Amino acid sequence: MKQLLISIAVLTLFAACTPKAQTPKVYLFSYFKDNGQDGLHLAYSKDGYHFWALNNDSSILAPQVANDKLMRDPCIIQGPDNRFHMVWTVSWNDRGIGYAWSEDLINWSEQQFVPVMQHEPTAKNCWAPEIIYDDDKKQYMIYWATTIPGRFEAGETQGDSEYNHRMYYTTTKDFEAFTPTKLLYDEGFNVIDAVIKKINGEYLMFLKDETRYPPKKHIRIAKSTSLYGGYKLASEAISPDWVEGPTVAQVNDAWVLYYDEYTRHHMGAMRSADLINWEVINDSISFPEGTRHGTIFNVDESVLNGLLNAFKATN
What is the DSSP code string of 36-79?
S-S-BEEEEESSSSB-EEBGGG--SB---SSSS---EEEEEEE-
Closest CA to 183 of 208, 209, 210, 148: 148
Does 298 have pLDDT greater than 60?
yes
Percent over 70 (pLDDT), the chain? 92
Q: 160 or 301: whose pLDDT is higher?
A: 301
| Domains, the chain, ordered by start | 26-310 (2.115.10.20)
* pLDDT value, residue 161: 80
Cα three-residue angle 29-139-79, rounded to 5 degrees: 35
* pLDDT value, residue 23: 58
* pLDDT value, residue 22: 54
Q: Which residues pair with 172 in a beta bridge?
A: 140
* pLDDT value, residue 162: 87
Mean pLDDT, rounded, for 166-171: 98
Tens of pLDDT along 95-124?
999 999 999 999 999 999 999 999 999 999
* pLDDT value, residue 157: 82
- Would you place residue 314 in the very low, low, confident or very high pLDDT band (cuts 50, 70, 90)? low
Tens of pLDDT along 236-286?
999 999 999 999 999 999 999 999 999 999 999 999 999 999 999 999 999
Average confidence score pLDDT of the chain? 92
